[in-house]
Every structure is written in C-alpha cells, then in structure tokens.
Amino acid sequence: MKIQYLGTAAAEGWPGLFCRCEVCRCAREAGGKNIRTRSQALIDDAILMDFPPDTYLHMLRDGLPLPEIRTLLLTHSHQDHWYPEDLAFRGEGFSHDIDGILEIYGNDACAKRLEAILPIVGQGMMDAMRAHYNEVTAFSPFETQGYRVTPLKALHNRAENCLIYLIEKDGKSLLYANDTGLFPQETWEYLRGRKLDLVSMDCTMQQIPEGTNHMGLADNAELCRRLGEAGCTHESTKYVITHFSHNGGLLHEELEERARPLGFLTAYDGMTLSF
C-alpha cells in the first residue's frame, strides 16, 4: 500500500489564510515543508481521502489525477475536509471526456452539505456531476475497488457522526485517523486485535495536549500505547502525524525533532510512504 499526503494543515492552512502570528511568519519565510495546505491524502493512486478547498492546488502541484479517481472517502463536513462546490465542475461543459462515476462515501452531514450547494450551482450542474453519494455509518464495512473500508467513530464535532477509516487490501491495513481526539470506546472495541500496518494520526495541537476533539504529541503517544495494548500494532507498524495547526507552535523541523523519539514520522505536503 502507498499513501501520498497532499495537504497536512488544519482548517486555516499554514501559514493561516489571514494570520500574522510568529510561526506563520516564519513558515512563510522558510517555505518548503513549512507550507501546509488543507488535509487530503491519496491511497494507492486510487482512493482519495477528503475533498478540501485545496484539492485544485493538489491537482496542479502534486499531479493528483482527479479525472481517474473513482473513490472519495469523507471524514466529516468541516469545510477543510469537504468543499463540494468544486465537485460541481466534474459536469459536462466544465470537464470533457469524463468517464465513470465518482463514488463518494460519507456520513449524513456530508450528504446534507452536498445538497446545500444546489442553490449555488443549480440543478443542471448537480445532475451533470457524475458522482454517486453513498451514505455510510460507523462499523459497517463496504467494498470499493478491491478495498475493504470500515468507517469508525471519531471523537470530534459532536453535532455530526464524524468518521475515521480502516482501509484494508491484500493483507495490508491503514488507519486514517483525523480529525479526532482519543477514540471513543466503541472504536477501541472494534479495533481490538486488528493488525495495523500504518497509523495516520491527527496532531493538530502539536505540543499542546488535547485529546477530546483533536490530538497533540502526548495524545498521539497515548493512542499508540493503547493500540499496542489492544494488539493492533507490530514491530513494523508505521506511525505518521498530520493535520497541523499553527496554534501548535512548531515548524516542521522542530516538530520532527520531537516526533522522532516517539517513533512518529512527521507528514509534509507531498510526502509519499509505502508500507
């Protein structure tokens, strides 16, 4: 399996869209891995995780093969993860020679958010989108393109059923876990004894412990300890942190220095990892 991180920032990006704080100023000056766009990842060039407003940039900058993507998994409806207005441009007149249907999997809130763009884009664009929405619920696995995908409950916005995903194929497995704090009990129960080869974790808060909506490094360490206890990890399991907020205060290299002793890889925009 392969994962390509396209965006590794929290909602406002890093530097933040309108921010004048010190770490945003430093990130702007230093550039490189300190420039982080809104969260998105691509698995095996086939499964797209979330659809933020920076999806277009990821197509331009990282070669994200949008016309070829057939599966889109949505974690929740926060706009840094689901910006369906741009999906309307899949329709004829805006995109030519499009074949196949884009299968979208997400919760009820993301379905409502998709319906809400109707007054903005109009019925014609909605009908022409060539996308099919599949409403999914936690702990009900489904198959897509030869992958077994299981949505799990996240600990995030309490107003909706936020999801994280367990993705399995050919004996390999990936847990894609943002946005979330330390998992709810039902998710721990589901994961018990299931082998994970890569754990991709929310580290929004970096040096600040949080755990109830997002995580920081200390929460990530606790999460990994509990995954070990639950028999989910093994000696070759890889741990990656992502979805960083400037409020966490650490530029890429500083974050890497603190993450390395914990056994975590620090994601950056464009990072690709095979496992």
Nearest-approach distance from CB 89 to Zn ion, in angstroms: 23
* Sheet containing 102-106: order of strands: 131-135, 102-106, 71-73, 47-49, 40-43, 2-7, 272-274
Nearest-approach distance from CB 80 to Zn ion, in angstroms: 4
Nearest-approach distance from CB 62 to Zn ion, in angstroms: 19
Instruction: State which residue, 21 or 262, has the beta carbon closest to Zn ion.
Output: 21
Instruction: State which residue, 16 or 181, has the beta carbon closest to Zn ion.
Output: 16
Beta bridge partners of 3: 43, 273
Work out whether strand 264-266 and strand 238-242 pair parallel, antiparallel, or are unpaired: parallel
Whether the bond into 15 is cis, omega within 30 of 0: yes
Instruction: State which residue, 133 or 244, has the beta carbon closest to Zn ion.
Output: 244
Instruction: State which residue, 25 or 225, has the beta carbon closest to Zn ion.
Output: 25
Contacts of 107 (CB under 8 A, 6+ apart): 74, 76, 77, 135, 136, 137, 151, 160, 161, 162, 163
Instruction: State which residue, 14 or 147, has the beta carbon closest to Zn ion.
Output: 14
Provide the 3-class DSSP secondary structure of residue 39: coil
Nearest-approach distance from CB 228 to Zn ion, in angstroms: 26
CA angle (157, 178, 110) in 5-degree steps: 55
Instruction: State which residue, 4 or 75, has the beta carbon closest to Zn ion.
Output: 75
Cβ atoms within 10 Å of 130's Cβ, excluding its own: 15
Binding site for Zn ion (CB under 5 A): 16, 19, 21, 24, 78, 80, 179, 246
User: For residues 15 and 35, what is the distance between their CA atoms, to the nearest angstrom?
Assistant: 7
Nearest-approach distance from CB 65 to Zn ion, in angstroms: 24
Nearest-approach distance from CB 213 to Zn ion, in angstroms: 8
| CB distance 233 to 224 below 8 Å | yes
